[in-house]
Amino acid sequence: MRAIVQRSRHSRVVVDNVEESHIDKGLMVLLGIKKGDRQRDADYMMDKIINLRIFEDEAGKMNRSLLDTGGSVLMVSQFTLFGDARKGRRPSFTEAEEPARAEALFDYCVDWLRGRGLNVGTGVFGADMLVAIENDGPVTILLDSQRNF
């Protein structure tokens, strides 16, 4: 499982010219699910995301987490995070999980976050979406459940 986590002032997802979800201050998470990912990968990633100390404290240092700030999460499924472009010019997505399994694990992640009392918005799984992110900082963190980076 991979995630691009961005500290956001405002983010939103639009599908077919209709806003599906938006957040103000919080985290924009683009989440990719790899073949073979399990709930333990999701548990690790969601715990890591909500406890990342990437929000500023009173001294201006990145020392506070999403839990500390009470921010929201906008999470969008992003199978292209497992695009492999090492050969040729067209990425291969063979490492991305099959849609039905990926959607179930994505939903598990959303439920996990909501179960901790967080306000969580999502896109529409498998839809063609427009995602607007106002990256605050900018702060962008890459996470991988296999700890590849």
Whether residue 140 lies in the annotated active site: no
Here the CATH number for the domain that contains residue 30 is 3.50.80.10
Tell me, yes or no, whether 149 lies in a domain: no
Whether residue 79 lies in the annotated active site: yes
Q: What total number of domains does the chain contain?
A: 1
Tell me, yes or no, whether 39 lies in a domain: yes
Active-site choice (6, 55, 78, 122): 78
pTM: 0.96
Q: Looking at the chain, which runs of residues are DSSP E strands?
A: 2-15, 18-23, 26-32, 55-56, 62-64, 72-77, 120-122, 130-144
Q: What share of the chain is helix, strand, coil (3-state, %, to 5)?
A: 25, 40, 35
Report the C-alpha gap between 45 and 73 in whole angstroms. Answer: 14
Residue 91, preceding peptide bond in cis (omega within 30° of 0): no
Of residues 149 and 95, more confidence is placed in 95
Residue 149 scores a pLDDT above 90: no
Active-site choice (6, 55, 79, 122): 79
Active-site choice (80, 93, 140, 146): 80
| Average pLDDT in the chain | 97
Tell me, yes or no, whether 98 lies in a domain: yes
CA 138 to chain centre: 16
Tell me, yes or no, whether 148 lies in a domain: no
pLDDT digits (tens, 9 = 90+) for 65-102: 999 999 999 999 999 999 999 999 999 999 999 999 99
Which domain, by its residues, includes 46? 2-143
Whether residue 149 lies in the annotated active site: no
Mean pLDDT score, 54-64? 97
35 confidence band (pLDDT: 50, 70, 90): very high
Query: With contact defined as beta carbons under 8 Å apart, do 72 and 36 qualify?
Result: no
Tell me, yes or no, whether 41 lies in a domain: yes
Tell me, yes or no, whether 131 lies in a domain: yes
